[in-house]
Amino acid sequence: MRYFFRIEYDGAGFGGWQKQKNAPGVQEAVEKAFSTILRRQCTIIGAGRTDAGVHARGQGAHIEVPAAIDIQKTIAGVNAVLPDAVAIYDLKPVDDRFHARYSAIRRRYEYFMTERKSPLWRHRAWCLRQRPDWELVRRNITALLGTHDFSAFCASGTTTRTTRCTVFDAGITRRQGLYLFYIEADRYIYKMVRSLVGTLVDIGRGRLADTMESILASRKRDRVGETAPPWGLVLDHVTYPGEP
């Protein structure tokens, strides 16, 4: 039987979602917890990777088990075994054709920024020492909407076959004194969101004379701004068919 669930995690102590040799991965921690509770070797498939230091609120994943499990006991048991920085929720049976990665239709990310030193948000938001022109930032965000080639915003080391992505929604708002950039797309390429945020901030600070539209059209990596640090980024939600 196949079960879907969501994962929330603080990525500060992890090398990212993926299992790896040189740093702890969130995927590895979740697999160990399920294996302990279900008393069998478990493999977890996630909706996608997140980089080292990046957080998640609604990462999607699935697990294959030979027989039905007690959902509430499994949630409680897995969460008891997991480190404090990781938790699972919304565990439920799904069709065997469901796939946490390939069935996903949208992924939403949020990026938090603050204009002042904030001890409470030091591991959750990028502290901007120079204030951007936020209206200029907002005007440039509209260029992201629709289907584009985002190759200019792809960091080296990617293995993706295509750099075309469709952005359904993007914007910036304020929440609890923070500036929140949000974006929802069908897919992303390596470090795309952090590169977009850094470029928007550099446009707003006057460090880049280009517009987002012209940078996208250029498809040149050397036209973009700095890559924003990982600790402000959160994988907010992964959407699947049938969900609102």
Query: pLDDT for 182-197, tens place per residue?
Result: 999 999 998 999 999 9
CA pair distance 71, 76, nearest whole angstrom: 9
- The predicted structure's pLDDT at residue 154: 86
Neighbours of 243 (CB within 10 A): 9
- The predicted structure's pLDDT at residue 157: 60
Band the pLDDT of 158: cuts 50, 70, 90.
Answer: low
- Closest to 123 (Cα-Cα) out of 132, 114, 135: 114
Percentage of the chain modeled with pLDDT above 90 = 86
174 and 82 together in one domain: no
Is residue 155, in this structure, part of any structural domain at all? yes
Is residue 175, in this structure, part of any structural domain at all? yes
Judge residue 111's burial from the number of C-beta atoms within 10 Å of its C-beta, 0-12 exposed, 13-18 middle, 19 or more buried.
buried
Percentage of the chain modeled with pLDDT above 70 = 98
Q: Of 67, 94, 121, which residue constitutes the final position of a domain?
A: 94
Q: Of 70, 94, 118, which residue constitutes the final position of a domain?
A: 94
Question: Looking at residue 231, which CATH number applies to its domain?
Answer: 3.30.70.660
pLDDT beyond 70 at 159: no
Helix 71-81 × helix 26-38 angle, to 10°: 130
H or E element, residue 63: strand 55-64
134 and 206 together in one domain: yes
64 and 158 together in one domain: no
Is residue 99, in this structure, part of any structural domain at all? no
25 and 83 together in one domain: yes
Asked if residues 198 and 228 have their Cβ atoms less than 8 Å apart, the reply is yes
* Catalytic annotation, pick one of 51, 95, 133, 210: 51
H or E element, residue 180: strand 178-185
Range of the structural domain that residue 121 is part of = 106-239
Residue range 73-90, pLDDT digits in tens: 999 999 999 999 999 999
Asked if residues 11 and 76 have their Cβ atoms less than 8 Å apart, the reply is no
Whether 202 sits among the annotated catalytic residues: the reply is no
38 and 111 together in one domain: no
Residue range 20-70, pLDDT digits in tens: 888 899 999 999 999 999 999 999 999 999 999 999 999 999 999 999 999
202 and 110 together in one domain: yes
Report the domain count for the chain: 2
Residue range 128-154, pLDDT digits in tens: 989 999 999 999 999 999 999 999 998
In this prediction, residues 159-170 reach a mean pLDDT of 89
